[in-house]
Structure 1
């Protein structure tokens, strides 16, 4: 059994991770760290865990573990590793954005591999530390990686809508039910923090001219939206491509032929197919030279905690799907 510790277990991603690990055949949770909830049962925060576990939140850390998950806010993970001595033998999977970019600092001798299995599977298997990808970044990249490998990406125009859990558990003016219900809004237009992360990965595969993360010249132009639902991300990316549609479909089918969770669908996809799963579904449409790539994921699973468990499975030589054979709640 993999001995696991979790830091930041009171938020949405922490709660989702706890739920997955409690039912994982090869993992056991040794502590869930939260200074503000120390001594209280997990179900005080995550009410659905009543009757599932007797674990209490802990204010103490332990080095008697094999793997540490960091489910902390952006910037907090780097500060945590600077302030706390974590044994070098302990593997780390960080769910913040602190170590996703190549220019991210190396802390306490630790370097991080970008944890998108469809891109870096072999590097993940041999890694010690993983930077788990962002939710929007995961959905957009999985829709575009085959085109990057073919070297045909230039300008990319992307829109995507996300549920309220993507904003985290802390209340804000746009996460109250009275604001969110029956409402949508664009935000961070052309300036979302995941753009650099996405273009970094696309440039890892792209043959020829590099894509820009600044929005100038060829690159990703992304408009995210807040939706009036709780979980899930739906992306539509438009690119100009001269290849015949059958050749484009072959690119995608070949690229994802051995992917554990990414599936190319011949039919239009929808959110209900992926919510409560670790899947990414992709559907392609083409009119003239314009290709539209639709991709959908659950932001808390394939976009966060599910992908973190997928990375754990790869790190420890387990079946990649262990603990992740989840079915969508379709109705």
Structure 2
């Protein structure tokens, strides 16, 4: 059994991570560190865990755990690791954006690997440090990885994607109150969302000569969780060849599936899956991709990375059924 520690245990991402780890056959939660909730039972904050555990939030850290998950706000993981040291055998999986970009991946002797299994599976299996991808970045990269791997992103890429309210975290803001979100819809960070850095980095990793624009319009949806993304770009390849290309690229992927059926978000909510559908409209290739932002877009992918790092079957603890009904 792996002894696991969690830093920053009160948010949506941490709540899902705790739920998954409690039901994972290879893990034991050693501590969940929180200064504001120390001494409180986990289920006092994550009320879906009533009856599932009697673990309390801790004010102490065990530096000898096997795996450490960082569920801190962006920018806070670096500060935390500067103040706290862990065993050389402790594997660290960071769910913030602190180490995702190439300029940030080296930190105090630790080299973080970008943890998108469909891109970097072999590197993930041999590292001790993972930078877990962002939620939008996961859904959008999975939509275009096969094209980039064949050098077929020769024109501008246009993306429209909508995320649920949980994507904004637990802290209340003007746009997360129920009365604002209910029966409402809006875009934000048009063309300059922070996940574009990850996406462009990955595209250039696979297709070094990519010089076009990735135009990304993120939207806030009137629902709790999930990301539904539509991506289109000019593509001269016949649809049948593109489908074969995608199926070949994802043939060994544990959670990414190509389908010819029309997609709707409930198919992936509460799972670690990504579903992809392809269509041609004249010269335009339309790629629909969708994930659960808290699972494949965060905590589920973090567990997937842990499984790969330890040589477990990739879907261990992640055989989840969608909230279809």
Q: TM-score, normalised by structure 2?
A: 0.98
Alpha-carbon distance, 1:209 to partner: 1.6
CA distance in 1, matches of 2:64, 2:131: 22
1:232–1:275 contact (8 Å) kept in structure 2: yes
Query: Match of 1:25?
Result: 25
Moved more, 239-248 or 100-109: 100-109
Partner of 1:241: 235
Q: Could you list the runs of 4 or more consecutive aligned residues of structure 1 that deviate by over 6 angstroms after TM superposition?
A: none
Q: Which runs of 5+ in 1 are unaligned?
A: 212-217
Correspondence for 2:179: 178
Report how far residue 210 of structure 1 moved: 2.7
Residue 192 in structure 1 maps to residue 193 in structure 2: yes
The alignment partner of 2:93 has SS state of strand
Aligned position for 1:98: 98
What do the CA deviations read for 1:4-53 (whole angstroms, capped 9, x no partner)? 00001110000000000000011110000000000110011001111110
Report the count of equivalent residues: 324
Query: Which residue number corresponds to residue 59 of structure 2?
Result: 59
Please give the residue correspondences for 1:13-162 in structure 2 after superposition, counting only pairs within 5 Å.
13-104=13-104, 106-153=106-153, 154-162=155-163
Cα offset, 1:83, TM superposition:
1.1
Q: Given that residues 81 and 107 in structure 1 are in contact (C-alpha distance below 8 angstroms), is that contact kept between their aligned partners in structure 2?
A: no
Q: Report if the CA contact (8 A) 2:105-2:112 is conserved.
A: no
SS of 2:104's equivalent in the other structure is: coil
Asked whether the 8 Å contact 1:82–1:107 carries over to 2, the reply is no
Say which SS state the counterpart of residue 103 (structure 2) adopts. coil
Root-mean-square deviation over aligned CA pairs: 0.8
- Alignment of 1:265 with 2:259, yes or no, is yes
2:245 corresponding residue in structure 1: 251
Q: Which whole-Å CA distance do the structure 2 matches of 1:50 and 1:288 have between them?
A: 53
Q: Which residue of 2 aligns with 1:230?
A: 224
CA contact (8 A) 1:114 1:133 kept: yes
The CA deviation at 1:107 is: 2.2
Aligned residue runs from structure 1 range 275-314, under 5 A: 275-314=269-308
- Give the Å deviation of 1:105: 5.4
Measured after TM superposition, the shift of residue 108 of structure 1 is 2.4
| Separation in 1, partners of 2:68, 2:255 | 24
Matched, 1:220 2:214: yes
CA distance, structure 1, for counterparts of residue 288 and residue 295 of structure 2: 18
Distance in 2, matches of 1:195 and 1:219, equals 11
Quote how far apart the aligned CAs of 1:64 are: 2.6
Q: Counterpart of 1:201? A: 202
Is residue 199–residue 219 contact of structure 1 (8 Å, CA) maintained in 2?
A: no
Maintained 8 Å contact 1:184/1:228: yes
